[in-house]
Structures are given as C-alpha cells and as structure tokens.
Structure 1
Amino acid sequence: MSPPPQNGRFYARDHEAMAQALEVAGPVDSRVLFAETSTNPEWGVLTPAVPPAAFSNNHLGYAITWFGLAAALMVFYGLMLKRRLRPPPTQGSATSQDHD
C-alpha cells in the first residue's frame, strides 16, 4: 500500500531496495535498527531518528468493528429469511374492523 521508492526516499521498510540504493554488498538482514545519534555524520544519507514511544495497535478496534458489522448483517439476514419463510396470509383469516 506504500508508494515505490523515489529519488532516494523510501516510504516502507524495503531492506533489499535500501541496500541496493546504498550499494551494500553481501547479505541484508531483515531486522530494524534505530539510531539516536549519528555514528557517521559525513554520510548525509543516514539521518538518526528515535523510534516512536509506542506503535499504534488498533487491532481490537478493528476486530470489534468487523465483528459488529458481521453480527448486524446476520440479524438483518435472519429477519429477511424469517419474512421470506413466513407462510402467506390466507384470505379467510384476515380481520377487518370496518365491518362493525
């Protein structure tokens, strides 16, 4: 869902593409390393960044939303099925109040 890398900017963690852009020879590790200070200030490509204090975790909210939507759909489908399977009304059992 992220755009592809452009002009040396990466919008997702693509270790292989980053290694190619930095001309790294050898195997590439998939682990992520955050640097708070620059160990090589002469490399303008590397900018230190502190990791976020907490990564967002909205899984519970998403699960409640989707299970709630599924439950509402099941109730709606049950009501529609009940209406469809209901026997048709017979003409003799119809009550009318305007004959009194």
Structure 2
Amino acid sequence: MLAVIRYIVPESQSQDFAKQGQTILDTFAGQAGYQRGRLARSVDEPNLWALVTEWEGAGFYRRALSAAKMEMYPLMILMVNEPSAYEDVHMRDGA
C-alpha cells in the first residue's frame, strides 16, 4: 500500500519543513507494517513536497497516522486536502 501526502510549503519554511518531515519518517519507521518512506520535493514546483511511504496494508498506515499525529499536526495547514492512501494494483521492479 502506498501513501502520498502532499504539502505546499513556502520557501521560507522549507528547511524547517524538511526537518519535521524527517521526524515524521522516523516516527513512521518505528510503526508496525512500515516498509519504506521518503520526503521528496518537486523539481518543477519547489513549493510542492510529498511524504511518500509504503506499508503492508491500509490498517498499518492508519494506525501509524495516529501515532505520528503530534509530529504531523503543525504541518496540517500546509497539506493538500486529497486522499492519501493508494492500493497497489500492479507493481514492477526495474531491471
């Protein structure tokens, strides 16, 4: 299961946001079902960021959101309001 949370971050807040994003990833990494994650920034729109994580299932992800709510709360005003959980339909690794 893939989770994508997008944020619109003013340039003046980007360094603090990156630190907070790392803290969220560290919290997620300690949760059951966590597989991997990354914080990414758009190369075309530098104010657009994404917190991308992979989980064993949606239940693990939703429980992890509860565990990380204190770290995530200050960033909620920057979140893009859209669904964040995606079910894997087809996967293919590179060569």
TM-score band, normalised by shorter chain: under 0.3
Which protein has the bigger strand share? 2
State the TM-score, normalizing by the size of structure 2. 0.22
State the TM-score, normalizing by the size of structure 1. 0.21
Which protein has the bigger helix share? 2
